[in-house]
């Protein structure tokens, strides 16, 4: 239960550490995260902060959502995301407030969630890393075939979970324990070491890591 941010994946680049080492980073734009609603245990049964991110034309919004955001004095948004937090932390927020990138700091470990790039209908080799069959020496039919998918009359069916061809990508994935390389408070950018799921301009969610390893001697 901790506050996070919704962001936009700008792309990847590299920065240089003080010792001259090249560090690959993903640039995340977390500007204009605004509080749309405060949920309290008294009225909602739990404590959470609802955050609006992005922009959208008012004509593309439903009347219910437009009224909800107007009540908070917040402009039309593309994303609404709830972050459950402790009830005693709600006092620092009110509808319309902006949440800055500085709630995270350099060196902190975070979990980043995004929707992976869709690959369409893919074969077993691309989707599950199957090996190809022989390209020659008697094989003229099944170079990239997946092979047997089950037994004969007994059990007479294909077992659930059998790895086969099918739709690949376009699923929600979380990468855990990524380190923040830099926080640009002026431009509201967070630079995360390594890659995060999704395409450029895709929506991502940053949360403090839930599986941080304890430091030796701590």
Sequence spans of domains, the chain: 5-118+169-208, 119-148+162-168
Beta strand residue intervals within 117-171, DSSP E = 120-122, 166-168
The CB density around residue 70, as the number of other CB atoms within 10 Å, is 13
For 14-72, how does the pLDDT look when each residue is reduced to its tens digit (9 = 90+)? 999 999 999 999 999 999 999 999 999 999 999 999 999 999 998 899 999 999 999 98
The structure tokens listed for 31 are 């500007």
Residue 212 — pLDDT band, cuts 50, 70, 90?
Answer: confident
pTM over 0.85: yes
Q: What is the CA radius of gyration of the chain?
A: 23
d(CA 192, CA 48): 26
Residue 84 — pLDDT band, cuts 50, 70, 90?
Answer: very high
d(CA 81, CA 1): 14
Residue 92's φ and ψ, nearest 5 degrees, are -85, 5
Which CATH entry fits the domain spanning 5-118+169-208: 3.40.50.300, 1.10.20.10, 1.20.210.10, 2.40.30.10? Answer: 2.40.30.10
Torsion of CA 21, 189, 11, 176, to 10 degrees: 80
């Amino acid at each position: 239960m901790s506050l996070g941010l919704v962001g936009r994946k700008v792309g990847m680049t590299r920065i240089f550490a003080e010792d001259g080492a090249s560090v690959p980073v993903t640039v995340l734009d977390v500007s204009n995260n605004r509080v749309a609603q405060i949920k309290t245990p008294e009225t909602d049964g739990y404590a959470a902060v609802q955050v609006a991110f992005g922009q959208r034309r008012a004509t593309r919004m439903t009347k219910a959502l437009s009224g909800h955001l107007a009540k908070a004095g917040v402009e039309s948004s593309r994303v609404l995301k709830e972050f459950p937090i402790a009830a005693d932390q709600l006092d620092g927020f009110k509808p319309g407030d902006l949440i800055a990138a500085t709630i995270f700091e350099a060196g902190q470990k975070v979990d980043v969630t995004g929707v992976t790039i869709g690959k369409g209908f893919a074969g077993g080799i691309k989707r599950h890393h199957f090996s190809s069959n022989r390209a020659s020496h008697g094989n003229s039919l099944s170079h990239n075939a997946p092979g047997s998918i089950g037994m004969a009359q007994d059990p007479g069916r294909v077992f659930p979970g059998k790895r086969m061809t099918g739709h690949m990508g376009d699923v929600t994935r979380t990468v855990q324990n990524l380190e923040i390389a830099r926080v640009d408070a002026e431009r509201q950018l967070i630079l995360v070491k390594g890659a995060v799921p999704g395409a450029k301009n895709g929506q991502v969610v940053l949360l403090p890591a839930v599986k941080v390893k304890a430091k030796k001697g701590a």
